[in-house]
Structure 1
Amino acid sequence: MPTTSITYLEDTKDYVLNQGHGVKGLADMGIKSLPNQYIQPEKERFNIDKIILTNNGEDNSIPIIDMSNLDDHAMETLICNAAEKWGFFQVINHGVPLSVLENVKAATYRFFELSAQEKSKFLKENSPTNDVRYGTSFVPEVERALEWKDYLSLFFVSEKEALACWPLACRAEALEYMKSSEFVIRNLLKILMKGLNIHEIDERKKSLLMGTKRINLNYYPKCPNPKLTVGVGRHSDVSTLTILLQDDVGGLYVRGDVGGPYVRGLDGESWIHVPPIDGALVINIGDALQILSNGKYKSVEHRVIANGQKNRVSIPIFVNPRPKDVIAPFEELMEGGDKPKYKEILYSNYVKYFFKKAHDGKATIDFAKITN
């Protein structure tokens, strides 16, 4: 099939999903209109031109927290309050060198600039390990409309496996980013546990809070009709914490009706832009920590818009329980007489439920709720 044009819809799907070109291949081809597979139902579209500013039009967003003084009690309070009220916040002076952040962004571009033949070596059916996966959209086989995004997902098992199996184009940089983030992850979790009045993190809690890590390299190509599609649909993460590095393009939005409805769409939903800040990391609470905290800390819906002018990259680190861990509210939180809001559930089953359907807001955590 020639790479200059795509005639049939099935050709598009094969070209993008099976041949390894991804949506980047469509964008590089210079298509002028969006293939039908990417046209989202109207209720899922996000038209940035139809946003109404409220709160006197002020530019409000999620909290920005300076972590330069780890002994600052006020900083700890800000982090815990942000986790309770917003579910999202940004941290600056976090200890991860700026050079590490810039290098992993450059490595993300480098990987996606590889030929389709090279990238396709890491498709599900070709990858040397289940822990390395190149793909596009979210779960294409169950989605009514595809998302305008390609990704490389790297599940960290050991440095030895990473050095053997992760793509050479981004291996060193992704590993360094993951290792450099360890300090900020541990400090954030320690602070958040103090906010639950849990002062000792034993081996079991350590496994529940940060038993595994996965890093994604996300690539959002310039889109010919961004108003008709999405970069990522509405969802909350299944992680304990997500540590996100975004570039300077922007496009991440979080639901605003938790922290405050500063930006309201004409459909009545409230969304807040998370502006790129040089050197900052975006932190968000995942479903696992909402469950472990019995709902005190909130995982919040978020989405990514498609961009008609620029390519965008983002690099999240998902900090998760181990697959064999059973997640449920911490017992210490029940000692005061509170009742658990969530049932015990094997984490691997929770994740399977998440990935067997398209993005659908907070539906996954509803699956874990105790219903009367």
Structure 2
Amino acid sequence: MAPSFSNSDSLYDFVVKDGNGVKGLMDSGLSEVPERYIQPEEERIRKVGTRRHNVPPIDLSKLKGPDHKKVVDEIVRAAETLGFFQVVNHGVPLELLESLKDSAHKFFSLSAEEKCLFSPGVSPSTKVKYGTSFVPDKEKALEWKDYISMGYTNDEDALQYWPNQCKEVSLEYLKSSSKMVREILEILIENLIGVKLEESRIEGIIGMKMVNMNYYPACPNPELTVGVGRHSDMGTITVLLQDGIGGLYVKLDEYNNNDDGEWLEIPPIPGALVINIGDTLQILSNGKYKSAEHRVRTTSSESRVSIPVFTFPKPTEKIGPLEEIVKKDGVTYYRQVVFQDYMNNFFANAHHGKNSLDFAKSSP
């Protein structure tokens, strides 16, 4: 028999404080979504009538051949418009991607007691965190998602502190995808300023890395909930592995003559990875590249996993439009901010579109 949550506080305690998460809620025999998870009408995702993003994935292996310029142009155009694109022949082994999905399901199938060993304040490392939703204490409606977040410092710490169920594959995923991120970043920066950035500046921009495993349990009323609310990522470039179920949506912005807030579904493509431009790259490019506003819907049929690798500047790094671009543009749309301050602001608020970028906007 499903537990009775007499009020919102008892639900919050069960899901958040006791570490049962949304999975624990569903495992308890829940047959309908609790009120605390029901999203306002305007935040719900309507699958009916939504267009799919039907641009073919970019073949990164062609960067090393006669089609180099064509592939560079495709990457640049995607970064300037939607802020999202998919890539194949990316150098991350396909069998590793399958193992990643399996290991995510393994971790989330652990008991609440086992997963809670990674809760804040208990976790053996401040870089490893098990949680649910985004910032539950700030959200009017909770997100239908549990996650484990694994910040990278070095291989030794990862193998010591990350969960046994997923540490080796997550580490290999982070390292193999980081090579691709660097290649894409170098292409995008060179397109902006005409030269390659020196190693120390590249390292400053993507010197911090993190792997998340997100788990979206099957939901009895998916039309009332969201897996992740609308937001843009705060970092430089995100690499995302979707499973075959799908549910990722990206908003078309004004560049695409989108006045009615249309959302495109990013369909899963076997063997492909999704690349997502983050706020940091929008700031560095003085607005030339677009961080993508995106969100995730839930499904009633089966539980879904997604596994992003986030790359960020180092916390002490100052981020602002690159000098070379400001000279060209003659105007700066963003001020210089210390990335730690940007990060603190990002995590202090519930997901609500691209409002995190306001923190770095220049005064008019």
TM-score category of the 2 structures, normalised to the smaller one: over 0.9
Contact 1:261 1:271 in 2 (8 A): no
Helix, strand or coil at the partner of 2:61: coil
Structure 1 residues 18-50: Cα deviation after superposition (integer angstroms, max 9, x where no partner): 22211011112231111111111122111223x
Alignment of 1:52-91 (within 5 A): 59-62=52-55, 64-71=57-64, 72-91=68-87
Contact 2:50 2:265 in 1 (8 A): no
Helix, strand or coil at the partner of 1:234: strand
The aligned counterpart of 2:152 is 156
User: How many aligned residue pairs are there?
Assistant: 360
Matched to 1:111, the amino acid is: F
How far off is 1:259 after superposition? 6.3
What is the alpha-carbon distance in structure 2 between the residues aligned to residue 334 and residue 293 of structure 1? Answer: 9
Distance 1:104 1:27, change over 3 A: same
The aligned counterpart of 1:246 is 242
How far off is 1:101 after superposition? 0.7
What is the alpha-carbon distance in structure 2 between the residues aligned to residue 96 and residue 327 of structure 1? Answer: 29
The aligned counterpart of 2:163 is 167
Counterpart of 1:286 (choices 278, 284, 287) is: 278
Identity of aligned residues (%): 47
What is the alpha-carbon distance in structure 1 between the residues aligned to residue 74 and residue 330 of structure 2? Answer: 24
Contact 1:208 1:327 in 2 (8 A): no
Contact 1:155 1:213 in 2 (8 A): yes
Counterpart of 1:311 (choices 303, 309, 314) is: 303
Contact 2:227 2:297 in 1 (8 A): yes
What is the alpha-carbon distance in structure 1 between the residues aligned to residue 264 and residue 38 of structure 2? Answer: 23
Contact 2:145 2:227 in 1 (8 A): yes
The aligned counterpart of 1:125 is 121
Matched to 1:5, the amino acid is: P
The aligned counterpart of 1:56 is none
TM-score when normalising by structure 1: 0.93
Alignment of 1:217 with 2:213, yes or no, is yes
What is the alpha-carbon distance in structure 2 between the residues aligned to residue 310 and residue 221 of structure 1? Answer: 7
The aligned counterpart of 1:48 is 47
What is the alpha-carbon distance in structure 1 between the residues aligned to residue 70 and residue 311 of structure 2? Answer: 25
Contact 1:327 1:346 in 2 (8 A): yes
What is the alpha-carbon distance in structure 2 between the residues aligned to residue 68 and residue 344 of structure 1? Answer: 36
The aligned counterpart of 1:109 is 105
Higher mean C-alpha displacement, 4-13 vs 237-246: 4-13
How far off is 1:128 after superposition? 1.2
Distance 1:186 1:52, change over 3 A: closer
How far off is 1:63 after superposition? 5.3
Matched to 2:296, the amino acid is: V
What is the alpha-carbon distance in structure 2 between the residues aligned to residue 304 and residue 232 of structure 1? Answer: 5
The aligned counterpart of 2:335 is 343
How far off is 1:193 after superposition? 1.3
Matched to 1:66, the amino acid is: D
Counterpart of 1:6 (choices 4, 7, 11) is: 4
- Kindly report the root-mean-square deviation, in angstroms, between the aligned alpha carbons of the 2 structures: 1.7
The aligned counterpart of 1:367 is 359
What is the alpha-carbon distance in structure 2 between the residues aligned to residue 79 and residue 154 of structure 1? Answer: 28
Matched to 1:285, the amino acid is: I
Helix, strand or coil at the partner of 1:371: coil
Contact 2:205 2:313 in 1 (8 A): yes
What is the alpha-carbon distance in structure 1 between the residues aligned to residue 77 and residue 50 of structure 2? Answer: 27
Matched to 1:206, the amino acid is: I
Structure 1 residues 311-341: Cα deviation after superposition (integer angstroms, max 9, x where no partner): 1100000110000001000111123252111
What is the alpha-carbon distance in structure 1 between the residues aligned to residue 212 and residue 133 of structure 2? Answer: 13
How far off is 1:261 after superposition? 6.7
Contact 1:62 1:88 in 2 (8 A): no
TM-score when normalising by structure 2: 0.95
Contact 2:192 2:285 in 1 (8 A): yes
Contact 1:61 1:272 in 2 (8 A): no
Distance 1:150 1:60, change over 3 A: closer
Alignment of 1:357 with 2:349, yes or no, is yes
How far off is 1:14 after superposition? 1.3
Contact 1:148 1:221 in 2 (8 A): yes
What is the alpha-carbon distance in structure 1 between the residues aligned to residue 347 and residue 327 of structure 2? Answer: 34
Matched to 1:202, the amino acid is: E
What is the alpha-carbon distance in structure 2 between the residues aligned to residue 232 and residue 112 of structure 1? Answer: 17
Alignment of 1:196 with 2:192, yes or no, is yes
Matched to 1:24, the amino acid is: K
Alignment of 1:230-245 (within 5 A): 230-245=226-241
Distance 1:260 1:333, change over 3 A: closer
How far off is 1:84 after superposition? 0.5
Distance 1:47 1:60, change over 3 A: closer
What is the alpha-carbon distance in structure 1 between the residues aligned to residue 195 and residue 50 of structure 2? Answer: 43
Distance 1:119 1:46, change over 3 A: same
What is the alpha-carbon distance in structure 1 between the residues aligned to residue 242 and residue 215 of structure 2? Answer: 11
Structure 1 residues 116-152: Cα deviation after superposition (integer angstroms, max 9, x where no partner): 1000001112111110000000000111110000000
Alignment of 1:146 with 2:142, yes or no, is yes
How far off is 1:183 after superposition? 1.9
Matched to 2:42, the amino acid is: K
What is the alpha-carbon distance in structure 1 between the residues aligned to residue 61 and residue 244 of structure 2? Answer: 23
Distance 1:202 1:102, change over 3 A: same
Distance 1:288 1:167, change over 3 A: same
